[in-house]
Amino acid sequence: MDFSLTEEHRMVQKMVRDFAQKEIAPVIKEYDRKQEPVPFALKRMGELGILGICFPVRYGGQGMDYISLGLACEELEAVDTTLRVVMSVHVGLCAMTLFQWGTEEQKQKYLIPLAKGEKIGCGAFTEPGAGSDVANLQTSAKRDGDYYILNGEKMWISLATLADYAIVTARTNPEAERPSRRHSTFLVDLHSEGVTRGDIHGKLGVRAGSTGWINFQDVRVPVENRIGEEGEGFKITMTAFDHGRYTVASGATGIIRAALEASVRYAKERETFGKPIAEHQLIQQKIARMVQDYEIARLLYLQVGWMLNQGMRTTRETSIAKKFATEASFNAAHEAIQIHGAYGFSDEYDVERYLRNARGAIIYEGSSEIQTIIQAGYALGFRKDKPVRCELPAYDAEAWQA
């Protein structure tokens, strides 16, 4: 594996860093306090090509590789988690799922506007009664001629009120013997009749993000909007989570870096007992841990990015990267607050926002408990990757940039 960054990787890093630091950082506190998304964020991410970073130019993307996607997520979340959440759901759950499983017609119709940022996508899996247990999702899609009739409610959906399209997994074959064969996945136009949606308020973190619910009442979804075959919904959802988790892992690495940089800055300024706190070994211990965690988290996500570029399955490696980085980012934010003392407890500094934002990622896109089960399953031989009918395409610079 070669983890040295190319010239193009560095350009992506710089472009995304400039956007996040110059355009979002100055206003994020205000929107986090108001609990409202930064109004221009999505539009700017689209204009800059960030929303289509890892898709071929012929599908409206930038023709960059999967490592570039990880680097972009790290830069975005180093400023605010809500920016990376956009990548997780618009790119990871929605557009990458279409790229992997969609027909050529579906890619032409939906992937191109998504990659260009002209339309916004999300992934609607979780329901009020089922999150981790995907095989137990209850939303139903009943075939009626050339349509499926969708009924049910999705909950905790990022970008619920801002998205144009949702990848939705629903029950089509309730009688199938194996629970994992009962569902199918659809691309649903959220402007369709029968769709209602709203935001959830009072969240601990990602307050400048949109998280909400979507209700489907007799929504008519054309058969041609089914992604994959009937009964493939569980598998498709699992691959969507692989892509989303990669963005969560790389993004959480950005929080570790931000917590580290804030801690180093403050530790050099703040004095106690006649010297900067940076000179106290107990403070150095916290900083050294953040340094280690940053390096480990970064290598773990680069490994996944590299494997994706080769066209390899990464469920195991993505799970490790996601669990490690999200837990380490919460710990880094927690220690950064400690280093800031009482000031860390106020939103005068960013570290309290890092802590609130880091917490959710230990739950969503597969909680730490679910990642533990996945990892133990591989180690014990209970779990093995089986080939899926459609694999995520490997990166091909020449073809993607043409």
Ligand X SMILES: Cc1cc2nc3c(=O)[nH]c(=O)nc-3n(C[C@H](O)[C@H](O)[C@H](O)COP(=O)(O)OP(=O)(O)OC[C@H]3O[C@@H](n4cnc5c(N)ncnc54)[C@H](O)[C@@H]3O)c2cc1C
Min dist. Cβ of residue 125 to ligand X (A): 3
The 8-class DSSP code of residue 174 comes to T
Q: Which two tokens stand for residue 98?
A: 């279409």
136 vs 401, which CB is nearer to ligand X?
136
Rounded to an integer, what distance in angstroms lies between the CA atom of residue 392 and that of residue 309?
10
121 vs 305, which CB is nearer to ligand X?
121
Rounded to an integer, what distance in angstroms lies between the CA atom of residue 348 and that of residue 356?
14
Q: Would you mind telling me the total number of residues written for the chain in this entry?
A: 402
Rounded to an integer, what distance in angstroms lies between the CA atom of residue 204 and that of residue 368?
18
Residues 8, 10, 16, 18, CA torsion sign: negative
Bridge partners (DSSP) of residue 187 are 167
**Dihedral angle over CA of 362, 204, 85, 369, nearest 10:** 10
50 vs 370, which CB is nearer to ligand X?
370
133 vs 144, which CB is nearer to ligand X?
133
**Dihedral angle over CA of 61, 390, 237, 16, nearest 10:** -20
Residues that bind ligand X (CB under 6 A): 89, 122-126, 131-133, 156-158, 206, 211, 360, 363-365, 367, 369-370
Q: Which residues contact 261 (CB under 8 A, 6 or more apart)?
A: none
Q: Among all residues, whose Cβ is closest to ligand X?
A: 131
Catalogue the active-site residues.
365
Q: Which two tokens stand for residue 224?
A: 């041609």
162 vs 390, which CB is nearer to ligand X?
162
Which amino acid makes up residue 272? Answer: T
Q: Strand (E) positions, 241-364?
A: 271-272, 275-276
Q: Which residues contact 394 (CB under 8 A, 6 or more apart)?
A: 308, 309, 310, 311
348 vs 369, which CB is nearer to ligand X?
369
